[in-house]
A and B are shown apart, each in its own frame.
Chain A
């Protein structure tokens, strides 16, 4: 498939992350640090999951439920980890605010908190893309392409990149929704994220069916767009609503 195609697939999966990084994250060193540590943390979580499941793999099963179980446990683990991340973030916020008070600088604004959440989510998304897409991409730089029997219309690497892009979107914006939900105590937002993560994971099981990727991938993008819209609405509500409240004050 050559170098051109290899770069193309890499950009498909991680291009938007790169754009986000360049336009938003790179302006603030703290956010860069957040992205890096978040990527590291979530990569570690994926490695731990691999280690835990190593003994049971490969799952030589024709039915979908062992894979369903695999996805369920992995999602549960990651969502549990997210709560810990939130707790860690709370402590970090306190430290930062205390420091700001000490040097007579303003405390974290809502936009700052959202940007930190965004950086955290971006780290999660990049970890997913690296683990599930980039690591397989090396053969794509050679002359051959590859088609999987159950999805014979689209090259394997293209499928991998598209799915990775969807998950990057979901993870990036999920973190913003989750942090907002924990901060406000909004149950809807708090449950939205794990449910969306689980549903997205399960939707990929549709790809096991022959020709399933034709249905599975659009469904996955539907979920990604849903996440994006929900995040947008939440941000709008909090920022603009917040502004109005502040303005009224």
Chain B
């Protein structure tokens, strides 16, 4: 095989073995699929129509051209919305669609004004007000909420180049018997089993509920993602004096997109999360937090994009006073401050944010005053905070909705970078990446939140400016967090993250994932996702006070109120006093019993559960996309015929020759 080029029309970028030849023939394409998701009433998302791979020639989409045969259509991102609209309206066009491949490219992204495949009012069914036709997200096309019976893949940059070449080759080729085809493997178990809603598929075991447990990635690393909460300073659980009112600050860590493995959510919600982390970092340097009138508690939810799973489950566990929320008393929560999307607040040198209040109460007025006071103390930073427009129907889609539906008199406020309409033109799309946000907006929001929380927690309306100016957000921390959590270079292998955990992937994706195991507040850490573990360690580290015995290694075990921080990084970890816990995140309508998930009937005491679609994701074996050249079956048969005829002709020739020679010899 080393002499492979010998006697053949060898290529100089030579292959050295048969596996190399196989690799050259079958090109695996890097891509992100759209998968099949189910709810109580039906399905959404994409799937192969049966049990087989889908194979079809690659064709570039052109709005004026019709499809002559079943094809794999290559669509550019700026045409994707009109393309899917055409599929809905034109059934003869839709009939010829075997699969869809979406191009990727930095150039396209720059020119695209906006793309949001979700609804115009995301998760309207959970709103605590009636105006569900209000358009928070007017760009929303809703395409990710439809059912498609063909595979759809988003390409990477390298994949786009390969497929464009293939499509051009197909167009230019004058040989009718060969074509470059795409082979889609997106066979979904729910399609095979014929279970087309959550209840039946959970019963048959062909799907898993969405929630904070296992994210199946294409390179299955089996991550669990759970909500994380922490209190600053740590709550002394054994103490009886637990009556300090609690200020709960909330952010979320999951996003959604049409393509499962490319959900970054840089503006929504990660800018808010990063602002929260920076604020906590700033506050952790302040002394005397124990003496403040109120207790600060922070929580980062997951699963918010799929029915507010994290916040609902947290409130449920709070009612049950389970282990996951031990130390927190529901009745003590005085105020909920949510940090939503803040990354786009920077405009023409000014950082502008809006406070969306949930109803008017003394607590929300106090918070608004605190925000204004904090803004004044940050005078040099050009930050403006305003209350949201009074003509808004209420708060924008946020975790606070779960709190309000549970208890309509909850005092709460959502901090956002928009007033009446999302400023994020790429909400819940794969394009909501780091280039969509501005670090100075995040820094501004973090500074505002840190100082506001201090003002609120001290309960003092007249804090000296010197105290406030001591609370400063670390700008380089914000930038580092952005680079680590929202990009691939360095991505999760950056110093900051490696300081706390050993990441299993570099490129992050924040889709909530599915629940594989039994939910628990003490999950097996080897199965918890990088982002949750990082958040847990970061929060534990920032909110901890050193252990009484000095910083002891965890190898001897930590005492009751202590946790083991950096357990993965140095290999040993350090014990410290901190109240930082994981909380499972899954629908309140689901119950895990003897290895099976069952859907509970709607309960009027759980109003959000009544409108919960109960999202599940279909099981699948392998997902992939490859491209190769195929020749017409007639050609194959011709080759076989040729081979057989050569053999037969040779036989005939040999027999004749032999007879001839024998006769000639006999003659002589």
Contact = CB atoms under 8 A, between A and B. Distances in A.
A104 interface: no
A36 interface: no
Given A144-B25, A146-B25, A159-B8, A24 B658 contact: yes
A102 interface: no
Contact of A1 (B2, B6, B636, B646): B636
B10 interface: yes
B646 A16 contact: yes
Which among A23, A60, A71, A161 has the highest number of chain B CB atoms within 10 Å?
Answer: A23
Interface stretch (B275-283, B429-437, B637-645): B637-645
A207 B6 CA distance: 10
The binding surface of chain B is classed by DSSP as: helix
A20 B650 contact: yes
A5 B7 contact: no
B641 A8 contact: yes
Interface stretch (A79-87, A148-156, A174-182, A188-196): A148-156
A18 interface: yes
Contact of A18 (B8, B55, B647): B647
A22 to B, nearest CB: 7
B648 to A, nearest CB: 8
B116 to A, nearest CB: 38
Interface in A204-249: 204, 207-208, 212-213, 216, 235-236, 239-240, 243-244, 246-247
A96 interface: no
B631 A150 contact: no
Contact of B668 (A23, A54, A135, A243): A243
Contacts of A216: 9
B390 interface: no
B620 interface: no
A159 B21 CA distance: 15
Contacts of B178: 145, 147
Contacts of B644: 8, 11, 15
Contact of A145 (B1, B631, B658, B664): B631
B464 interface: no
B642 to A, nearest CB: 6
Interface stretch (B11-19, B98-106, B125-133, B477-485): B11-19
Nearest to A167: B7
B112 interface: no
Taking residues whose C-beta sits less than 8 angstroms from the other chain, chain B's interface range is 35 or more
Given A11-B643, A19-B647, A58-B16, A24 B6 contact: no
B654 A201 contact: no
Given A53-B3, A165-B646, A247-B668, A151 B9 contact: yes
Contact of A67 (B1, B6, B22): B6
Given A111-B665, A139-B21, A143-B630, A204 B8 contact: yes
Contact of A132 (B3, B25, B183, B661): B3
Interface string B644-668: 1011101100110010010011001
A213 B178 CA distance: 20
Report, as a range, how many residues of chain A touch the other chain: 35 or more
B21 A136 contact: yes
B146 interface: no
A16 B647 contact: yes
B628 interface: yes
B642 A148 contact: no
A10 interface: yes
A149 B12 CA distance: 10
B631 A207 contact: no
Nearest to A153: B175
A122 to B, nearest CB: 11
A7 interface: yes
A24 B21 contact: no
Interface string B599-634: 000000000000000000000000000001111010
23 contacts: A4-B636, A5-B635, A5-B640, A8-B640, A10-B643, A15-B647, A15-B650, A16-B646, A16-B650, A62-B12, A67-B6, A131-B3, A142-B25, A142-B26, A143-B183, A144-B629, A145-B25, A147-B178, A148-B11, A149-B11, A204-B7, A240-B664, A246-B668
Q: Report the 10 A-B pairs with minimum CB-CB distance, sorted nearest first.
A: A11-B643, A15-B647, A243-B668, A16-B650, A144-B628, A8-B639, A19-B651, A8-B640, A5-B636, A151-B9
Interface of B: 1-12, 14, 16, 18, 21-22, 24-26, 55, 178, 183, 628-631, 633, 635-644, 646-648, 650-651, 654-655, 658, 661, 664-665, 668
Given A139-B22, A155-B631, 14 more contacts: A5-B631, A5-B640, A7-B640, A8-B642, A19-B651, A22-B651, A57-B16, A74-B3, A147-B629, A158-B639, A163-B8, A208-B9, A236-B664, A239-B661
